[in-house]
């Protein structure tokens, strides 16, 4: 037997063993500085099993992230060596933890009085909200894992045993038995306290509510003396909670009457009916204070002659691990905590990083969140600054505090300079609803349940499923979007559903890298007045002298940051005093060390933190007089963050034979080519394709050095600067372009053809200097996305194609130049941004004139016509008609049908119904002929949409001509096409036309029902056209003289139409406003309204039949109210509108009535 003096494990002297099992031993010990510890050492057998080693390390990583008085602290971890632990086999893992020897909750007498139970629950809930905010769910909360420790105020509870904890925001099961698309895992936990989702093994349903269920079981038992569920064996106990509710709690005197209701909420079988945040339950207990303050937990402990020590029962949990397999690895967070001096340096990089010198930033973020909660209005904040200045750390700080206080739900989207599988808002929604790894059908099934709990529809579930699986292009699509605005509307609809219960905190990291996310941010702020959502985005500024970055030249970013509800906040590097304070907060380093680090890092927090870690790792600091001082007279520090990362990686690679290190470098460069977030399957395939064999322990080494961290479906580099470091290394050795070409080949091999895979390949080929191939892929992507209504993504692909083309240095005669202009014109139409089309069109016309190309002459005329459409309809028509003639001469059927449809819509607006009918009919015939001759099914969708668009115009024109039955037949045919193709927006528009038809038939009630259906359909897509349908509802109210009910509907519709730039319909709405106001006898805004109406409609040659009728009604009301001059103005307005519709006799009659009112006025 080894003597006690030999029982040394590094800085810990082990005094006696207090627990032993097949998984290991627990010893009581003392640190060399005198404080007591409990040391847990993995057994030799368990240590040889990789699964148990992972579980053991996971416990250390989980506990190191947590810094709370109600959670057992971990002081250190390590690996036994002969030098530090002569009595143990080398290689065994150990943990050193806080001692809690005051008993456990299982020793409490029961039933407990209310005052004791309340105090215990308050302490435990406070600890749980701390853990849950950091993404950790305990999953084995039970009385044996609630230990008591001595403190100046008596015994306090501490949660122990995080051996099977779950990272609840992760997207993978804890067992190796299931892949990331597996629905179930092996059951883990204690049967008497497990939540129903644990009994079923539904790991995607785990969350804070899982621990709250277990806590509800504990509260029930301590309050009543009985467990809520009983049975003859563990299986029966566990499954009892799936079949029935617990018996009503038989409570003693002193308990609040509503305590039973709280237990019901904690013990709800359905996770959506359960309390979701620990803070919510904590608030209930805080609101129900006992009458007495004399509360001593120790008075209710029954220890007998037993002694309790922390982690005596720890290894019983690991028997469950044996059945479940590999436990999940979590992202390694860093936590700063008050620990005994000289302890835990090996855990330093797992601790939470402190925030120093950002008090003003934290206050502004907090104030913004509280403002959103109070006002229920959306707000935005864009944090900008150099890399490593702490922008993302601030957003994480806000997210932690918001969760701890139960203030907001948090969604986060990350954006990388190369879009990968973990990129963007679609991945964000997939992550929040725990759908990552599921195929489309199972995603849809899950979203039916999750969105249904938010009060959203099956239609919403189908739309979100399509957004999540866009990259896979499921055929047929689960949901078809007609525009980017419709996609944005669905996303916001989901956010609205979430915000109905609690405010939403939406964080978008590196928003400047993704145009679609910028548009979502703008859409949120510009479209919604009532939505309790705080958007916090980050954007990186350059580290050059100007501090300028390309995003600052982006029109969309400028529009976002200049919105009156969005604040642009700079996050600069720290000044020297703040930098010194950060270092002292991290660790008590000597002043001479701090000064050198401050000078070297230039105020960059990330660089400073990494330098401290490197010094600790290299053993260059030692304790002296309570401070960490340099061992040598001069510290050797890397000159730049790039050299620091290179040194760090080199240190990790030293674990492998010299002959293999070169291949490991290549493997990491290939990972960097994939981007900051690395999909494991892609990386493995890429390395195999490149002939690189990555060592099995490489990733573990990188994680231990804080170079990488595990995440869903793979891992990520800890910071973007590491990717930049590897990029520079590969470029210096002439490998970077080759790496990207290999990436493109890997994507082509792994994934079926789709716009998402084409775009990713194009990105890599652009970096790989294969410009022609990249150009073709970007163009192919843009065309497909335009066909499916994704104009924003198409515009992004077009701009990437322009980058590739610039690198090719095309000649003046290169047809790819006008081709991109024509494509961009289509994208801008999809984005409702017509003004820039004029410049594109003029460029095409000039190119065509030089190169004698009729096709792009016609395309140029279309673009110019679109660009001046809102300013001068007549000029636009000249350009459109010119394009029609050229397309007809060239026999370019597809382009001709598109141009004819545009012409039809324009002449219809001018009142030329015959011209509109002729153009639309010809367009429809072209599409029908093309469909009959179609030999490629892939083009059918686009042709059918174009046919339906043309038929919609034919129907509207027939209706204007009074051919109601024919119009109705064509309208229903069009509705059937849109409904079959799943185009929600256009379906809603055509339902609106069908409502018009019923109104013209005199069936007002039938029209109202159809209009209501149209509004509901359009509201699904948040389409502004629903406001047009509201105008038709107002027309029905005018027919029934229901002016008071019409007014609020009308004002809201006009406001929405103004905001969206729909001038024509805004003008029609203003005519209706004249009729409604005069019907109410309110002429206070008459003069301004009629002046604006003339400017929008008459000056621009716009007219509409319903507007003629409404203007006439306004005139008659004004005349009866004794305002002959205003009546004359309205009659003249109606006459001018009639003339624009070529109703000359009607116009003459209206002018005669205007003259009559003038004579009356005289």
| Structure tokens that stand for 918 in this block | 């002729």
CB atoms within 10 A of CB 437: 19
User: What sign does the CA torsion over 1056, 1062, 1066, 1068 have?
Assistant: negative
Query: How many other C-beta atoms can be found within 10 angstroms of the C-beta atom of residue 1085?
Result: 13
Beta bridge pairs of residue 382: 537, 568
276-280 LR contacts (CB < 8 Å, sep 24+): 276/207, 276/208, 276/209, 276/212, 277/129, 277/132, 277/208, 277/403, 277/406, 278/125, 278/126, 278/128, 278/129, 278/132, 278/208, 278/211, 278/212, 278/406, 279/125, 279/129, 279/404, 279/405, 279/406, 280/406
- Are 893 and 901 in contact by the 8 Å Cβ rule? The answer is no
Asked whether the beta carbons of 115 and 295 are under 8 A apart, the reply is yes
- Whether 986 has a pLDDT exceeding 70, the answer reads yes
pLDDT of residue 2: 42
Query: Are the CB atoms for 118 and 109 separated by under 8 Å?
Result: no
Residue 311 has pLDDT above 50, yes or no: no
Q: What is the pLDDT at residue 16? A: 87
Other C-beta atoms closer than 10 Å to the C-beta of 215 total: 24
The two three-digit tokens of residue 790, written as one number: 């994704």
Least confident of 44-48, 110-114, 133-137: 44-48
The mean pLDDT of 906-913, rounded to a whole number, is 84
Single out the residue of 451, 1154, 110 nearest to residue 459, CA to CA. Answer: 451
Give 545: exposed, middle or buried? Use CB within 10 Å, 0-12, 13-18, 19+: exposed
Q: How many CB atoms lie within 10 A of CB 856?
A: 24
Query: Could you read off the pLDDT of 19-73 as tens digits, one per residue?
Result: 876 678 888 999 887 889 988 888 888 888 877 787 787 777 778 888 899 999 8
Whether residue 476 has a cis bond before it, omega within 30° of 0: yes
Rounded to whole angstroms, the Cα distance separating 550 from 612 reads: 33
Instruction: Give the Cα separation of 703 and 699 in Å (integer).
Output: 6
pLDDT at 473: 61
Closest C-alpha to 88, from 181, 15, 9: 9
Tell me the CATH class for 639-749: mainly alpha
> Would the pLDDT of 1161 be above 60?
no
Taking 80 as the threshold, does the pLDDT of residue 961 lie above it? yes
Please give the average per-residue pLDDT across 702-722, as a whole number: 86
Which has the minimum average pLDDT: 13-22, 186-195, 297-306, 1136-1145?
297-306
Do residues 29 and 44 lie in contact, with contact meaning Cβ atoms separated by under 8 Å?
Answer: no
Strand 621-624, strand 627-630: pairing? antiparallel
Helix, strand and coil content of the chain, in percent to the nearest 5, comes to: 60, 10, 30
Tell me what the pLDDT averaged over the chain comes to.
86
Give the number of other CB atoms < 10 A from CB of residue 967: 23
Active site annotation includes 1099: no
Give burial (CB, 10 Å; 0-12/13-18/19+) of 985: buried
Question: In whole angstroms, what is the distance from residue 556 CA to residue 520 CA?
Answer: 11
467 in Cβ contact with 364 (< 8 Å): no
- Tokens 């789709």 map to which residue? 754
584 pLDDT band (50/70/90 cuts)?
confident
End-to-end alpha carbon distance in the chain: 124
Return all residues near 572 (Cβ < 8 A) that are at least 6 apart. 385, 386, 389, 603
Distances (CA, A) of 128 to 67, 70, 336, 1091: 11, 8, 18, 64
What architecture is the 107-142+169-305 domain classified under in CATH? Orthogonal Bundle (1.10)
φ and ψ at residue 208, rounded to 5 degrees: -50, -35
Phi, psi of 101, deg, nearest 5: -115, 30
Is it the case that residue 86 has pLDDT exceeding 80? no
Name 716's bridge partners: 677, 709
pLDDT over 70 percentage in the chain: 90
What does the pLDDT read at residue 130? 95
Q: Is the pLDDT at 957 greater than 80, yes or no?
A: yes
User: Sorting pLDDT into bands at 50, 70 and 90, what band is 549?
Assistant: low
Beta bridge partners of 630: 621
| CATH for the 359-425+434-570 domain, from 3.40.228.10, 3.50.50.60, 2.60.40.10, 3.40.50.300 | 3.40.50.300
pLDDT digits (tens, 9 = 90+) for 623-638: 777 777 888 777 778 8
Contact 308, 101 (CB under 8 A): yes
Residues 576, 579, 583, CA angle at the centre, nearest 5°? 140
Is 1049:1090 a contact under the CB 8 Å cutoff?
no
Question: Which DSSP letter does residue 788 get?
Answer: T
Residue 307, Cβ neighbours under 10 Å: how many?
Answer: 10
CA 383/CA 395 separation, integer angstroms: 9
Residue 954 scores a pLDDT above 80: yes
The per-residue pLDDT for 599 is: 82
pLDDT value at position 936?
62
Q: Which residue has the higher pLDDT, 851 or 617?
A: 851
Q: Return the HEC string of 550-594.
A: HHHHCHHHHHHHCCCCEEEEECCCCCHHHHHHHHHHHCCECHHHH
DSSP state, 547? -
Angstrom distance (rounded) from CA 745 to CA 944:
35
> pLDDT tens, 275-293?
999 999 999 999 988 766 6
Coil, strand or helix: which one is 897?
helix
Low-confidence winner among 317-326, 432-441, 960-969, 1130-1139 (lowest mean pLDDT): 317-326
Q: CA-based angle 721:725:729, to the nearest 5?
A: 165
Q: Token pair for residue 286?
A: 């805080």
Helix (H, G, I), strand (E, B) or coil at 135: coil
Length of the chain: 1162
* Calpha distance 621→823 (Å, rounded): 61
Q: Which of 107, 123, 126, 140 is catalytic?
A: 140
Neighbouring-strand partners of residue 131: none
Examine the pLDDT at 12 and tell me if it is beyond 50.
yes
Strands 166-167 and 136-137: antiparallel
- For tokens 């209005």, the residue is 377
Query: How confident is the model at residue 331, as a pLDDT?
Result: 32
Residue 547 has pLDDT above 80, yes or no: no
Residue 719: HSE in the Cβ half-sphere, 13 Å Cα cutoff: 25
Cβ–Cβ under 8 Å, residues 952 and 990: yes
Which of 549, 210, 534 has the alpha carbon at shortest distance from 394?
Answer: 534
| Among the listed residues 643, 609, 617, the one whose alpha carbon sits nearest the alpha carbon of residue 704 | 617
Q: For residue 620, which of 647, 658, 656 has the smallest C-alpha distance? A: 647
> pLDDT by residue (tens digit) across 499-516?
988 999 999 999 988 888
Please state the domain extents for the chain. Answer: 107-142+169-305, 359-425+434-570, 575-625, 639-749, 751-809, 986-1042, 1062-1162
256-265: average pLDDT: 94
Asked whether the predicted pLDDT for residue 864 surpasses 80, the reply is yes
């Amino acid at each position: 037997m080894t003597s006690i003096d030999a029982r040394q494990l590094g800085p810990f002297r082990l005094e006696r063993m207090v627990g032993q099992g097949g998984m290991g031993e627990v010893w009581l010990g003392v640190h060399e500085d005198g404080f007591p510890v409990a040391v847990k050492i993995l057994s030799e057998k368990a240590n040889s099993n990789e699964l148990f080693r992972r579980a053991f390390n996971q416990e250390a990583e989980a506990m190191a992230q947590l810094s709370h008085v109600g959670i057992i602290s971990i002081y250190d971890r390590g690996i036994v060596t002969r030098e530090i632990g002569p009595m143990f086999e080398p290689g065994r893992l150990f943990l050193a933890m806080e001692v809690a020897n005051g008993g456990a909750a299982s020793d409490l007498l029961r039933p407990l009085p209310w005052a004791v139970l309340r105090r215990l629950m308050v302490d435990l809930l406070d600890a749980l909200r701390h853990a849950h905010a950091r993404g950790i769910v305990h999953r084995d909360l039970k009385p044996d894992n609630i230990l008591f420790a001595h403190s100046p105020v008596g015994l306090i509870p501490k949660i122990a045993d995080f051996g099977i904890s779950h990272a609840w925001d992760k997207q993978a099961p804890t067992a190796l038995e299931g892949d990331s698309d597996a629905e179930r895992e092996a059951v883990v936990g204690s049967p008497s306290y497990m939540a129903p989702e644990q009994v079923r093994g539904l790991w995607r349903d785990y969350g804070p509510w899982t621990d709250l269920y277990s806590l509800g079981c504990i509260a029930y038992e301590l309050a009543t003396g009985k467990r809520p569920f009983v049975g003859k064996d563990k299986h029966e106990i566990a499954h009892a909670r799936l079949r029935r509710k617990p018996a009503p709690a038989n409570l003693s005197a002193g308990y609040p009457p509503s305590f039973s209701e709280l237990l019901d909420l904690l013990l709800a079988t359905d996770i959506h009916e359960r309390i979701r945040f620990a803070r919510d339950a904590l608030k209930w207990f805080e609101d129900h204070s006992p009458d007495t303050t004399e509360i001593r937990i120790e008075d209710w402990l029954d220890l007998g002659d037993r002694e309790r020590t922390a982690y005596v029962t720890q290894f019983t949990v690991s028997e469950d691990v044996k059945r479940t397999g590999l436990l999940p690895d979590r992202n390694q967070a860093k936590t700063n905590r008050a620990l005994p001096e000289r302890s835990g340096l090996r855990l330093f990089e797992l601790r939470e990083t402190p925030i120093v010198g950002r008090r003003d930033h934290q206050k502004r973020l907090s104030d913004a969140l509280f403002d959103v909660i109070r006002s229920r209005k959306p707000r935005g904040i864009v944090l900008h600054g150099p890399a490593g200045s702490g922008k993302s750390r601030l957003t994480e700080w806000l997210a932690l505090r918001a969760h701890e206080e139960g203030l907001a739900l948090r969604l986060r989207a990350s954006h990388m300079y190369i879009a990968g599988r973990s990129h963007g808002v679609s991945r964000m929604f997939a992550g929040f609803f725990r759908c990552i790894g599921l195929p489309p059908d199972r995603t849809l099934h899950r979203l039916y349940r999750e969105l249904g709990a938010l009060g959203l529809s099956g239609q919403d579930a189908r739309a979100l499923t399509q957004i999540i699986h866009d990259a896979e292009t499921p055929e047929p699509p689960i949901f078809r979007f007609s525009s980017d605005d419709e996609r944005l509307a669905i996303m916001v609809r989901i956010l609205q559903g979430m915000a109905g219960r609690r405010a939403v905190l939406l964080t978008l990291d590196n928003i400047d890298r993704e145009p679609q996310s910028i548009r979502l941010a703008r859409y949120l702020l510009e479209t919604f007045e009532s939505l309790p959502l705080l958007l916090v985005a980050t954007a990186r500024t350059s580290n050059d002298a100007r501090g300028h970055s390309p995003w600052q030249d982006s029109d969309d970013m400028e529009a976002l940051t200049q919105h009156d509800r969005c604040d642009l906040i700079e996050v600069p590097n720290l000044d020297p005093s703040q930098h010194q304070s950060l270092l002292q907060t991290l660790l008590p380093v000597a002043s001479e060390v701090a000064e050198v680090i401050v000078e070297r890092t230039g105020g960059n927090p990330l660089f400073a933190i990494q330098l401290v870690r490197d010094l600790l790792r290299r053993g260059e600091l030692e304790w002296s007089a309570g401070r960490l001082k340099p061992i040598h007279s001069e510290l050797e520090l890397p000159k730049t963050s790039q050299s620091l990362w290179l040194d760090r990686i080199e240190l990790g690679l030293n674990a492998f034979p010299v002959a293999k290190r070169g291949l490991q470098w290549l493997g990491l460069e290939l990972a960097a080519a994939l981007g900051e977030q690395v999909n494991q399957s892609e990386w493995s395939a890429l390395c195999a394709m490149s002939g690189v064999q990555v060592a099995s322990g490489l990733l573990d080494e990188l994680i231990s050095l804080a170079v990488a961290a595990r995440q869903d479906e793979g891992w990520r580099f800890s910071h973007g600067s590491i990717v930049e470091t590897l990029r520079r290394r590969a470029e210096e050795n002439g490998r970077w372009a080759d790496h990207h070409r290999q990436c493109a080949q890997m994507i082509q091999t792994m994934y079926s053809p789709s716009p998402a895979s084409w775009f990713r390949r194009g990105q890599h080929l652009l970096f790989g200097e294969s410009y022609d191939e990249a150009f073709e892929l970007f163009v192919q992507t843009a065309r497909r996305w335009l066909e499916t209504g994704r104009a924003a993504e198409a515009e992004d692909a077009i701009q990437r194609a322009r980058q590739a083309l610039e690198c090719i240095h095309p000649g003046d005669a290169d047809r790819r130049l006008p081709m991109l202009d024509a494509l961009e014109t289509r994208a801008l139409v999809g984005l409702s941004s017509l003004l820039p089309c004029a410049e594109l069109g003029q460029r095409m016309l000039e190119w065509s004139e030089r190169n004698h190309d009729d096709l792009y002459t016609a395309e140029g005329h279309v673009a110019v016509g679109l660009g001046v459409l809102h300013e001068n309809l007549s000029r636009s028509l000249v350009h459109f008609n010119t394009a029609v003639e050229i397309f007809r001469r060239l026999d370019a059927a597809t382009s001709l049908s598109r141009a004819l449809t545009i012409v039809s819509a324009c002449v219809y607006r001018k009142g030329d119904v015959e011209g509109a009918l002729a153009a639309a009919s010809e367009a429809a015939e072209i599409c029908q002929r093309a469909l009959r001759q179609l030999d490629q099914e892939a083009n059918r969708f686009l042709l059918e949409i174009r046919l339906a668009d043309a038929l919609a115009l034919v129907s509207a024109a027939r209706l204007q001509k009074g051919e109601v039955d024919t119009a109705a037949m064509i309208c229903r045919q069009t509705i059937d096409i849109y409904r079959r193709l799943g185009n929600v927006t256009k379906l809603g528009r055509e339902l609106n036309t069908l409502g018009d038809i019923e109104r013209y038939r005199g069936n007002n009630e039938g029209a109202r029902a159809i209009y209501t259906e149209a509004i509901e359909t359009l509201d699904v897509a948040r389409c502004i056209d629903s406001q047009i349908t509201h105008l038709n509802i107002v027309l029905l109210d005018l027919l029934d003289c229901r002016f008071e009910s019409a007014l609020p509907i009308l004002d809201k519709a006009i406001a929405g139409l103004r905001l969206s730039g729909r001038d024509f319909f805004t003008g029609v709405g203003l005519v209706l406003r004249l009729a409604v106001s005069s019907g109410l006898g309110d002429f206070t805004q008459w003069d301004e309204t009629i002046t604006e109406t003339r400017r929008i409609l008459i000056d621009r040659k716009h007219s509409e039949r319903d507007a003629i009728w409404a203007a006439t009604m306004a005139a008659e009301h004004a005349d009866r109210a004794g305002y002959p001059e205003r009546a004359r103005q309205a009659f003249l307005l109606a006459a001018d509108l009639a003339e624009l519709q070529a109703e000359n006799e009607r116009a003459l009659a209206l002018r005669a009535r205007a003259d009559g009112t003038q004579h009356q006025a005289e």
